[in-house]
Structure 1
Amino acid sequence: IVTRSTPTVHYYNYDLDGWNPIVYRGGRFISEYGYQSYPAYTSWPVRVLNNEELADLINHRQHSPLRNAPIKTMIEKNLPMPLETSPNYWRDMIYLSQVSQAMIVKTETEVYRSKRLEHGTMGALYWQLNDVWIAPSWSSIEYGGKFKILHYWMKEMLAAHHVVAYINTLKRLDLYAIRDTLGPDEQWKIEVNIHRWDSFMPVDNLTYDAITVPENTVVKVDSYDIYEHLHKKNLAPRDHLLLINLYRNGVKEAENFVFLDKVKNAAQLTTSPNVKLTLATVSCNPANSIVRVSIELSVSRPVAFLYMELTPENSALKQCQFSRNGFLQFSPIQTVYMQCVDPGCKSKLASSDISTLSVNRLMNK
């Protein structure tokens, strides 16, 4: 039982489903929590190692006494598993490990934020920020500065104005408005859109207007029987998810999502989304060797956890960061930005230099 008097919480759990919010409770201060993932595929010497040799290296650098079992177990609970005989096995496993880590830490962080008043929570520290070498770890930033998917998500899940939603122990949708700024009361609006996994347009929605949000607080907006709602509308949970938008002063301020079933059960994801990546603009400043790239992503269907990475041949580019990565794309076209250090501005980037991964691609494996 967790109460306002519960002191520091140091929480790890490798048995229960970390994607499930009911696993987490809260406390006055959550001093440490997290989950392991692998560094990006291109961070390993993949040009000189085959799958078996890469597996040996990853296992050699895994210093957890539990080895790699927790990473694989959590992927199996929620996502499609790649075939071990596939030549892309480790590339896919590394990607899925980062998706799973991001979802676990996101879920846990947002539960702690939503229960801030209930438990008098004064802070939460995820483990860990960065690494000292290329190895499986709990970090969100790799050795060398490359962001894992988790770190791309951090800016949104820790935003000063945020909307948090999850399914509680009674199978109801708990919805929270979170404000960490000072000032007069504000009026917020929240839209909960019910989407099919294969449609850009929502099939139904719930709207909460004129939510009064005082300064520096958490407002519980609703606890809604979403599964009864789906039943009345004849909508199967496995075929749908919730996309949630927060509007502040009439402007979209934040967004979030809730899965109504395991992602691996979403049959509509089996159809290819035909991801097309185009470099709209590329410019490099010789004064600081910073190259900035505008990337246009077009898809024919929604994409689950769309992830971009430079191909292994682009080793001359350093400290590359995207404006976002590992996201759900529920619009036909989206623009993402990338910034790298390109010594001497010598690289000639092309669309083929950036590869994409998605859960959709793995659903038929």
Structure 2
Amino acid sequence: MPIRSTTSFAVSRFGVISATTALCVVMALMMLAASAHAMDRRVLHDGWEFRQMPPAKGDAGIGSSWRTATMPGTVHTDLLAHGLIPDPYVGAPEAGLQWIGLADWEYRTTFQVSAGERAAVRSDLTFDGLDTFAEVFLNDEKVLDADNAFRTWRIPVQGRLREGSNELRVVLRSPIGRMLPHVQSMPYRIAGNYPSPYGDEPKDVLTANFVRKPGYHYGWDWGPRYVTAGIWGSVQFTSWSAAMVEDLQVRQDRVTASVAELTAIATVDAARAGDYQVRLWKTGPGGDRKVMATQRVTLPQGRSRIPQSFRIERPQRWYPTGYGEQPLYTFDVEIVQGAGIVDARRVRTGLRSVELRRERDADGRGFAFIVNDIPVFAKGANSIPFDMFPSRVTPAQLRRVLQSAVDANMNMVRSWGGGYYESDAFYDIADELGLMVWQDFMFGGGMQPAYDPAFRANVVAEAKDQVQRLRNHPSIVLWCGNNEEEIAWKYWGHGKTLKEADPEFAAKVWDGYVQLFDRDLRRVVEEDAGGIAYWPSSPSDDMAEVANTPASGDMHYWEVWGNPAHPPSAYLGVTPRFMSEYGLQAWPVRKTIDHAIARDEQRIDSTQVEAHQKFLAGKGNERLLHYIRMEFGEPRDFDAFVYLSQVMQAEGIGLAARHHRASRPHTMGSLYWQLNDVWPGASWSGIDWFGRWKAMQFHARRFFAPVALAALRKDGRTTVSAVSDRTTSRKGEWRLRVMDLHGRVLGDERTRFELPPLSAVRLATYQDAELLGDADAVKTVAVLDMNVSGELPVREVVYFTEAKNIAWPASPVQAELRQGPEGTTLELGADAMARAVWIDFGSLDADIADNALTLLPGERVTLGVSSSATPEALRAALHVTTLADVLSTPSSSRSTATP
């Protein structure tokens, strides 16, 4: 809509009128201001009820009675709250709960509307999350048919309200029931993801990719199948008679050390045409507040965009963690009419420049994020949903995991596309912590029916909603179209199979894909994201013919763990421009397993264990054993299996991450799969569903340290490199010792060196024979230590054979808990080499300063311990495990803990 500027309005309107007329005008303006203050915004989260309609087969006889509901929420969580279903995470209840996804559900509440609200010129109901096929009724009149869980649904309801009580009702249709007839009628079907093993839909008829709903609800290889429904986002009622601020974008046109050139764009919905003043405030990171721009405008009825440009001299810039601070500015836009503010909107953002740089070189094209002119090596992991039921994820839960990422020296998370767009809290916390976010659109795999124009239009509306909601967050540095759909079509047989069956339909499917992911979503990001780059798929080379190549673009590498299940040393043979997925699986800590699986079921092949192992439909433990046996041999019991899975995962991922960092600047990112968990089970995560760290998370803190050492051994050759994320050069010394497992030093050398900024420097290369000499490989290790000015000491240990072949000494680890003025500490010592030392406190929760560490012979370390348990309880529960313990016979366990 056009906006007529009326900057001189006040002078021209009042400059030539009589005092009486002026008094009347002032009184009228005061009345208008009073009415303008009648803006009402409130959430409608109270008094909700739900029921099933009508009962479905296998529903355990819950009937169709109305029961109280929690809002926001889901059907599964409401049923659980009433004790109508067992805990979906405990034992193996999954098969018996699939009826929930086949049923239709109804929710209702009432809310009060005052006479003033009913008389308002405009009234809206807004649903921030309807999952998924939802019919909304207001006072028994249908006002919405929704079909997308990721959209914001805003419903004009003026003229439909009653003074007093109003009933709001939402009917949620089964997404499987809605889509199954359509998919079954297709002569040839497009590829989906994970077939249901439970019979709720035929294994050859997959409906998930036809529905704009979280894909992981249909099951994934790290989580269960719970096709839930619900009102999972906020429900709001808004009424106004003047103007409402729908959105405020603070577009960063140019940000340098000397100046930030910004444009604040307010989107305003005017109930009536009229004259307004728009006022923009800035509050700096230090709390200083000032008006940055004012403007008088005449707004037409309806939606208008009001831009205001301004500058901030010498801005405090936002940096990724490890590169600087994260100062945040607050901007408030106020819409003023007469003497009153009729509405306002606030956003918080950080000021920075960000670029995805793709320079050509002799190998192909790079893939590097440049923030404030600094090429940042991206270190981190892929995040998945934090729960099967997103409405119960708390900000505290998000903060615990994201803080853990920062504590492990990560600076980026990739918010993966098979879940949902995270809550505002997720991005607020990422902004505060300096975590860059690679944000996927919500497409997790398979192929989409993008040949359907209505489907594409629905997705474009979704994308606009989400990009506009999130575009002020400085943490978001990339929008990506989808996860693995391009390579699935090109290389996994999806495209080939359909081309052979129906070439015309296959061409239509691919053309739709190109239209959606190369054009439509790219256009949304270009128009609405404020300068953030777009990437069409992961992995991809920006729609080039060849994807998932080390030469250009980003890569996923799954030939380790996935087929053909190469050993972890194969990571050293792949040097990508940016590795956005790679991973190894492990089970979580014992306390987490105890929550989900009964002790008498804790066997590798038990029903409950297989229910919580989703890879290869519950047989993923066979793949896990394959990797454990390679390095460690046969685990003697379930506890050893769990412990060795974590050691294998931590060491294997560490090998890959160090290789990526040592390959800088050819490689500029290493994001392993995965950061977190959706429930308590086996997965590729480093942090489990409770927020507890696996061994890999402790290792990540070392291999992602700002200054680190990479000692990479393959085929009898060890390459030693130093890597630095620091922006200034550092001086240091590195030391190489060759010793036996009892600490007898066979060789010792020290070398001083200078480490340039933002670099990887090769320090040395050794053949095994150069290091070992006449020493026995099964009794000898190489220890590399690096000390760099201003940094924590760094250590790497190189072994010359698999752990199962090493002659581990029968020397105990001593562990002593002490209580002092600084709190509880744990002192550890070992008389001989102790690898993969793991400390736990059984059923007690305790945070330990370090874990999953290696002790050299004669070495002693002191670790802080934080717990609500008493020192006596901690001492009684303390248990220390080493690799030597687990690889020995039960009678020769050699780890001890002393009071």
What amino acid is aligned across from residue 828 of structure 2 in structure 1? L
2:571–2:655 CA contact under 8 A, matched in 1: no
User: How far does the alpha carbon of each residue in 1:50-90 deviate from its partner, in whole angstroms, 9 at most, with x for none?
Assistant: 2556743221111112521221111101114233xxxxx11
2:863 aligned counterpart, secondary structure: strand
Partner of 1:249: 789
Query: Residue 834 of structure 2 aligns with which residue?
Result: 303
- Supply the distance in 2 between the matched residues of 1:53 and 1:250 (Cα, whole angstroms): 48
3-state SS of 1:151 partner: helix
Letter in 2 for 1:172: R
**Secondary structure at the counterpart of residue 643 of structure 2:** helix
Show the counterpart of 1:226.
Answer: 768
2:613 & 2:574 partners in 1: Cα distance?
29
Counterpart residue number, 1:109: 657
Q: Which runs of 4+ in 1 moved over 6 A?
A: none
Corresponding residue of 2:749 = 206
Q: CA 1:163–1:227 in structure 2 vs 1: closer, same or farther (change >3 Å)?
A: same
The amino acid of 2:557's aligned partner reads Y
Write the distance in 1 (CA, Å) between the matches of 2:682 and 2:887. 25
**Pick aligned residue for 1:142 from 688, 696, 712:** 688
Is this contact kept in 1: 2:658–2:703, CA < 8 A?
yes
Alpha carbons 2:592, 2:690 under 8 Å: kept: no
Matches of 2:364 and 2:848 in 1, distance apart? Answer: 39
Q: 1:265 — aligned with what?
A: 805
Counterpart of 2:642 in structure 1: which amino acid?
I
Q: Hey, what's the Cα distance between the residues in 2 that align with 1:3 and 1:321? A: 45
C-alpha distance in 2, partners of 1:22/1:126? 12
Q: 1:107 aligns to what SS in structure 2? A: helix
Q: Distance in 1 between matches of 2:820 and 2:782?
A: 35
**Pairing partner for 2:819 from 281, 292, 313:** 281
Is 1:128 paired with 2:666? no
Q: Is the 8 A contact 2:612 2:682 kept in 1?
A: yes
Counterpart in the other structure of 2:738: 194
- The separation in 1 between residues aligned to 2:875 and 2:758, in whole angstroms, is 44
Partners of 2:592 and 2:781 lie apart in 1 by 33
Take 2:821 and 2:610, find their aligned partners in 1: how far apart are those partners? 40
Cα distance change on mapping 1:108 and 1:158 into 2, 3 Å: same
Match of 1:86 in 2: none
Out of 609, 612, 628, the residue aligned to residue 61 of structure 1 is 612
1:34 aligns with 2:577: no
Residue ranges of structure 1 left out of the alignment (5+ in a row): 84-88, 285-291
Post-superposition offset of 1:37: 0.3
Cα distance, 1:189–1:110 mapped onto 2, change above 3 Å: same
Could you give the per-residue CA deviations for residues 91-117 of structure 1, whole angstroms, max 9, x where no partner exists?
Answer: 111011000000111000001111113
Any conservation in 2 of the 1:299–1:333 contact (CA below 8 Å)?
yes
Q: What is residue 43 of structure 1 aligned with on the other side? A: 592
Q: Which residue of 2 aligns with 1:289?
A: none
What residue number does 1:287 align with?
A: none
- Give 3-state SS (helix, strand or coil) of 1:349's partner: helix
Give the one of 232, 239, 244 matched to 2:779.
Answer: 239
Shift of the 22–223 alpha-carbon distance from structure 1 to 2, 3 Å rule, reads: farther
Cα 1:207–1:283, aligned 2, differ >3 Å: closer, same or farther?
Answer: closer
User: Quick check: 1:193–1:205 contact (8 Å CA) kept in 2?
Assistant: yes
| 8 Å contact from structure 1 (residues 16, 23) kept in 2 | no
Closer, same or farther in 2 for the Cα pair 1:354/1:63, shift >3 Å? same
Amino acid at match of 1:16: H
Give the aligned partner of residue 757 of structure 2.
Answer: 215
d(CA) in 2 for partners of 1:250 and 1:229? 30
- Which structure would you say has the larger RCO, counting Cα contacts within 8 Å and 6 or more residues apart? 1
| Correspondence for 1:93 | 641
SS at match of 1:68: helix
- Contact in 2 for aligned 1:227/1:237 (Cα 8 Å): no
> Which residue identity does 1:339 align to in structure 2?
S
Contact 1:172 1:227 in 2 (8 A): no
Change (3 A) 1:307 1:282: farther
Q: By how many angstroms is 1:252 displaced?
A: 6.0
> Cα distance 1:328–1:347, how it changes in 2: closer, same or farther (>3 A)?
closer
CA contact (8 A) 1:24 1:111 kept: no
**Alignment CA distance shift 1:161-1:128 (3 Å):** same
Query: Post-superposition shift, 1:163?
Result: 1.2
Amino acid at match of 2:799: F
Q: How big is the shift at 1:262?
A: 0.8
Give, in angstroms, the shift of residue 149 of structure 1: 0.3
| Shift in CA distance, 202/56, structure 1 to aligned 2, threshold 3 Å | farther
Q: Deviations over 1:230-286 (max 9, x none)?
A: 2xx31122221121111223976311122211111111x1x32222321112689xx
Q: Which residue of 2 aligns with 1:164?
A: 710
> 1:334: Cα distance to partner?
2.0
Q: 1:168 to 1:362 in 2, by over 3 A?
A: closer
**1:4/1:28 contact within 8 Å kept:** no
1:132 aligned partner, one-letter code: V
What 5-or-longer segments of structure 2 have no aligned partner?
A: 1-361, 366-550, 890-899
Paired amino acid for 1:102: A
Report SS of the residue matched to 1:306: strand
**Residue identity opposite 1:212 in structure 2:** E
Q: CA deviation at 1:300?
A: 2.8
The yes-or-no answer on 1:81 pairing with 2:644 is no
Residue 178 (structure 1) aligned with residue 723 (structure 2): yes
Residues 27, 251 of structure 1: CA spacing in aligned structure 2 closer, same or farther, 3 A cutoff? closer
Q: 1:334 aligns with which of 861, 864, 881?
A: 861
Work out the CA distance in 1 between the residues paired with 2:575 and 2:703. 16
* 2: CA distance, partners of 1:71 / 1:282: 42
Q: Secondary structure at the match of 1:272?
A: coil
Could you tell me whether the CA contact under 8 Å between 1:163 and 1:256 is conserved in 2? Answer: yes
Structure-2 separation of matches of 1:250 and 1:123: 24
Tell me: CA distance 1:49–1:249, structure 2 relative to 1, closer, same or farther (3 Å).
closer
Between the two proteins, the alignment pairs up a number of residues equal to: 333
Contact 2:603–2:638 (8 Å) recurs in 1: no
SS at 1:44 equivalent: helix
Kept in 2: contact 1:9–1:26 (CA 8 A) = no
Change (3 A) 1:56 1:3: farther
Aligned residues: percent identity? 19
Distance in 2 separating the partners of 1:249 and 1:21: 34
> Is the 2:585–2:682 contact (alpha carbons within 8 Å) kept by the matching residues of 1?
yes
**Matching residue within 690, 693, 700 for 1:154:** 700
| Larger gyration radius, structure 1 or structure 2 | 2
In 1: Cα distance, 2:587 partner to 2:634 partner: 15
